[in-house]
Amino acid sequence: MQPSGSILWRLKYRYAGREKRLALGRWPEVSLAEARRRREEARRALAHGTDPAAAGATAAVTFRAVATEWIDRYLATKAEKHRVSVSRRLARDVFPYLGDRPVAAITAPEVLAVARRIEARGAMETAHLAIQNIGQVMRYAVATGRAESDPTASLRGALAPVPTLHMAAPADDPPRVGEILRAIQAFRGSAVVAAALRLAPYLFVRPGELRTMRWQDVDLDRAEWRFTASKTRTDHVVPLARQALAILADVAPLTRGLPGGYVFPNGRSTDRPLSDAALNAALRRLGIDTKNELTLHGWRAVARTMLHERLGYPAEVIEAQLAHRVPDALGRAYNRTRFIEQRRAMMQAWADFLDALRDGSLPPAPRTSSARSSPTQIG
């Protein structure tokens, strides 16, 4: 019996002069009859001179079997995109090397070897994620009595860290921003995609927040959009400038009232929002390099830099509109209405500034002199 009170079936045996233990499962998931069957398979392996742990006394304790069970149970309530991503990563990069190995016999060097193969092709982030996913499966195996420990715990620092990537954004190039805005204005694809592309720079919210925007959260009369910020999980208010209201009014006859309630529904099913891939593909069709020049997320960096440097707005007002969790001088955490009147004025000034850039007009002079700050990584 474990300190937690769970009962684990284990077989103590000797192999090559060493005493070892084989995890057979946890009661009641593994019945007494099943534990005995697994014990007999292990004994048969010993009789043939094979270590039961290395041979995999039963297919039920292979890494692939435990990982599949973990996916079905643990990831069942997660977002479909995340579930598919993890499943593909395990199937492509892990199962070919560890899938048929007994989960109890997997060692840290084996896991590191898998990660090194991924690292060798330049996929640093995937290598780290693979170790993370293997660790999740191994901890599930430990919890269910099919492994003794998680070998990934000893791999901390074994891989080089993932380089910090900056979201592409021409934050210090107003003329180029104007060119991009003109290209977006001329987009002739789907009306829903066009509306989302045009709205993105005015609102500079996170791409996932824009894509999942719902009509029930938009108050056109009050010129506000209220929702829960995806990163900080805090209530947030986005004041809507006249230009943003005009775009929403244009798209309303197309999407308001559709199942799902999304402002920008998916073209194949209105129960789902527009995909990130669809919007970035639209940018690429316009000749915009989404890897090196501008992503949808990059509008946050553009707004953060230009609102401060070109329009002279205080950093704390901009940070509040970005929905960053930044305590004030008195230690008070973010609240959705902080600086709300200044933010209303700022969002209208920002929309007017973008229009001036798009139309090739001279941008307004900064209201105040301020130290230069040009962040390119905005959460």
Query: Residue 162 falls within a domain, yes or no?
Result: no
Q: Do 211 and 141 have their domain in common?
A: no
Structure tokens at 39: 């014990």
CA 70 – CA 95 distance, rounded (Å) = 14
List Cβ neighbours of 53 (8 Å cut-off, separation of 6 or more).
Answer: 20, 22, 102, 104, 105
Structure tokens at 77: 């309530």
Q: Do 254 and 286 have their domain in common?
A: yes
The CATH number of residue 335's host domain is 1.10.443.10
Q: Encode 95-110: b = buried (16+ Cβ within 10 Å), e = exposed.
A: beebeebbbbbbebee
Query: Residue 322 falls within a domain, yes or no?
Result: yes
For 25-50, what is the mean pLDDT? 76
What is the pLDDT of the chain when averaged over all its residues?
Answer: 83
Beta bridge partner(s), residue 142: none
Q: What is the pLDDT of residues 194-207, one digit of tens each?
A: 999 999 999 999 99
Examine the fold and report which residue of 123, 155, 187 is the final residue of a domain before the chain moves on: 155
CB atoms within 10 A of CB 253: 9
Residues 40, 162 contacting (CB under 8 angstroms): no
Q: Do 55 and 204 have their domain in common?
A: no
Q: Do 151 and 209 have their domain in common?
A: no
Q: Bigger pLDDT: 125 or 374?
A: 125
Query: Residue 375 falls within a domain, yes or no?
Result: no
CA 6 to chain centroid, in Å, comes to 34
Residue type, 76: A
Binned at pLDDT 50, 70 and 90, residue 23 comes out as confident
Q: Do 350 and 204 have their domain in common?
A: yes
At residue 338, the pLDDT reads 77
Q: Please determine, for residue 328, whether its predicted confidence score (pLDDT) is greater than 80.
A: no
For 321-349, what is the mean pLDDT? 73
Query: Residue 41 falls within a domain, yes or no?
Result: yes
Q: Do 198 and 332 have their domain in common?
A: yes
Q: What is the pLDDT of residues 122-159, one digit of tens each?
A: 788 889 999 999 999 999 988 887 888 899 999 988 88
List Cβ neighbours of 159 (8 Å cut-off, separation of 6 or more).
Answer: 115, 119, 124, 127, 128, 131
Q: Do 195 and 267 have their domain in common?
A: yes
CA 147 – CA 55 distance, rounded (Å) = 14
* Share in percent of the chain as helix, strand, coil (round to 5): 50, 10, 40
Q: Do 250 and 312 have their domain in common?
A: yes
The CATH number of residue 24's host domain is 1.10.150.130
Domain coverage including residue 121: 7-155
Q: What is the dihedral of CA 282, 285, 290, 295, to 10 degrees?
A: -30
Examine the fold and report which residue of 101, 122, 155 is the final residue of a domain before the chain moves on: 155
Q: Do 328 and 255 have their domain in common?
A: yes
At residue 54, the pLDDT reads 62
Binned at pLDDT 50, 70 and 90, residue 336 comes out as low
Q: Do 347 and 199 have their domain in common?
A: yes
List Cβ neighbours of 28 (8 Å cut-off, separation of 6 or more).
Answer: none
CA 279 – CA 209 distance, rounded (Å) = 13
CA 32 – CA 274 distance, rounded (Å) = 51
Query: Residue 107 falls within a domain, yes or no?
Result: yes
Q: Which of 131, 151, 146 is nearest to 59 (CA)?
A: 146
Query: Residue 31 falls within a domain, yes or no?
Result: yes
Examine the fold and report which residue of 100, 127, 155 is the final residue of a domain before the chain moves on: 155
Q: Do 66 and 192 have their domain in common?
A: no
Query: Residue 301 falls within a domain, yes or no?
Result: yes
Q: Which of 230, 213, 208, 231 is nearest to 297 (CA)?
A: 208
CB atoms within 10 A of CB 336: 16
Termini Cα distance of the chain: 46
Residues 41, 57 contacting (CB under 8 angstroms): yes
Q: Do 11 and 89 have their domain in common?
A: yes
Query: Residue 186 falls within a domain, yes or no?
Result: yes
pTM: 0.55
Element (H, E) at 23: strand 18-27
> Known catalytic residues?
206, 231, 297, 300, 324, 334
Q: What is the CA radius of gyration of the chain?
A: 27
Q: Please determine, for residue 119, whether its predicted confidence score (pLDDT) is greater than 90.
A: no
Q: What is the number of domains present in the chain?
A: 2
